[in-house]
Chains A and B, each alone.
Chain A
């Protein structure tokens, strides 16, 4: 048996199409970037082992499609997530405005036990574009929104240059871990045959 229990964290990446969700993931997992845009169909899955404090755990990253036609997949995909990453493009105002929808949609569909404290992380991506001259969402504005939603950690990233990507995912792992509930003792019932009546599952006596 393993000396220390390994953990697996399910991380969902959400955001409008084209904000760079797949690129962020590729930069993080494979340290690769491509300028070519390829729309994600449904969802992509990647895994990465991460060390955090002296523990090793596995991030199971669900890179979802941003297009609206895939939204129906929500419930199934979001179930049992440990952390949700919201991504927008600092050069596209609409993608920032939509963060609220993405967050609410996630909370409705995943229905986590404690929605107030569910760990989100917000990433403002593509800060490299045009040397920052085409930027329309200021860091201040983004941080204000994050603060209003229960102090969501915020990172400005560039998937292209790899800027801040590692740090962002470290934070994602940390937050997901923090949310881990205390281990409960697993104690199923014992069969009670008192009174000479045995219990038996239904539907087996055929």
Chain B
């Protein structure tokens, strides 16, 4: 993701005065004349019949909406198949699933719940309903359905498969099923890839009915995704890139040398025990915006608190630590790099996923070799990892393999300072309070000064998040604003509002996530983009996206929201983010000059 680091202002700065887009009316006019373009599905050079390519510029936004209606609807049936009260088998989509095996109605039930069972299993546990961020915490780690193979009907019906294999066709990882039992399937994948390679070409995408098969070749490593989730090709490809990055994080790219020396090389033993790391990463593809935004997010904290944390991290960074990172779950509290060293958001995502998904890091302080693929994919760094409490962990990265005791001393010092300066208790409080809520969007766009309460939460404490559930209009923020994500390009950070009613269920949240993902892909499409603004209305939402040099704003509104009002509200959101930027973003971190 290249960006213009020369832009002088931080996110959203001065756009009220200077940016011509800031005038709501003008933005509105832009929408009137803008040519909206439907995302084009990319094809490989040779494969794919192209029959289901949706292509073409749509000159009327309403058309754009219609087009999208159809496609989203289909997706709804698939992903949220059992949501409706009507019998799942009544929709008649059994035939559409494209499986070669006979599909009975009872099978459809099974199929429709397959992709959701992560959420489902946990809901049986009861506790997490309606908590924002619930997807992050409710997922059950580890690989499931190990007993399956490619002959199992249940395996064939899974909506999204991921495979890693070697270029000799030996399986390395499969999201579902036992790798060894899938050896024949793995060989087939290699045969397809190699066949095209033999012709001096590369296969990128094969479409088969509703399924997309996406290929990524990384030297001797082949990665394949087979999906019927209707996610854009670019998104699926990005997910494969992250999976490859995760593998590099664990083993470095030196793995290529093993294959050069010995094509028979079987790397599964080297990845032993890392199933959970991959399955947790794959799970994050359905809830963590960082996986497609290529930006990280911060835990909201008072400016002084984050400064205090940053100061002590800087202190140890000066003593030979390459990176010092303090995180709470997937959110950054503070991070510091040695001079000139900068950390790519994707590396942060992969590193935090690695640490959070591996149970052993939680039980004791650890020292582990890791590789940051965007920093240097060829070589190891060493990570000292220590959990300060259940969710908060410190990572100190060094180049020295014998720095354990030094880093342990650093950690003890850091922990003491964090306790003394109440950073850890502030972190706990922020976890409970949550982040920005659309209900709190200031109606009056007057900038606030001084020490406002945490993120300017103005609701009295009695106003609990559990509001009465009314599925439709009238809930959410002003003008029907339901949710937003704001990504600061200069900071490489994003902020996402908490999920508020009516986005209560994990299923609705995942649907919105996918909608954002699609929106992101269409805004950044290299063939037809990039675009500056997009407004689309369908039966689920009004989605509004606005990209400037400084930021990207993604907002979801009630489907009946008024357009002019929605645009005005987006301007307010930007102003609001600007007002609280010192609390929600890490300022003055080492420059991210990627």
Contact = CB atoms under 8 A, between A and B. Distances in A.
A25 B252 CA distance: 38
A189 B379 CA distance: 5
B401 A190 contact: yes
A60 B380 contact: no
Interface string A79-117: 111100000000000000000000000000010110000
A181 B262 contact: yes
Contacts of A198: 340-341
B170 A206 contact: no
Contacts of B322: 193
A42 interface: yes
Interface string A168-192: 0000000000000101101011111
A80 B198 contact: no
Given A76-B194, A80-B169, A190 B270 contact: no
B264 A10 contact: yes
B275 to A, nearest CB: 10
A201 B378 contact: yes
A55 B272 CA distance: 18
Interface in A27-75: 42-43, 45-47, 49, 58, 60, 62, 72-73, 75
B168 A81 contact: yes
A145 interface: no
Nearest to B373: A201
Contacts of B562: none
Interface in B242-270: 251-252, 254-255, 258, 261-266, 268-270
Interface-centre pick from A5, A60, A113, A206 (highest chain B CB count, 10 A): A60
Contact of A76 (B182, B191, B266, B371): B191
Nearest to A72: B198
Nearest to A56: B180
Given A188-B380, A191-B381, A79 B594 contact: no
B351 to A, nearest CB: 14
Contact of B198 (A76, A184, A199): A76
Contact of B375 (A2, A82, A188, A201): A201
Given A42-B191, A188-B371, A7 B594 contact: no
12 contacts: A8-B266, A10-B170, A43-B187, A60-B169, A77-B191, A79-B168, A80-B264, A188-B252, A188-B254, A192-B399, A205-B593, A206-B2
Given A8-B171, A60-B169, A189-B378, 9 more contacts: A8-B180, A45-B188, A58-B181, A60-B170, A82-B264, A186-B258, A189-B252, A190-B401, A193-B322
Interface of B: 2, 166-171, 180-188, 190-191, 194-195, 197-198, 251-252, 254-255, 258, 261-266, 268-270, 272-273, 322, 338-341, 344, 369, 371, 374-382, 399, 401, 593-594
Closest 8 CB pairs of A and B: A80-B168, A76-B194, A188-B254, A80-B263, A60-B183, A45-B184, A45-B187, A188-B252
Interface of A: 1-2, 5-8, 10, 42-43, 45-47, 49, 58, 60, 62, 72-73, 75-77, 79-82, 110, 112-113, 181, 183-184, 186, 188-193, 196, 198-201, 204-206
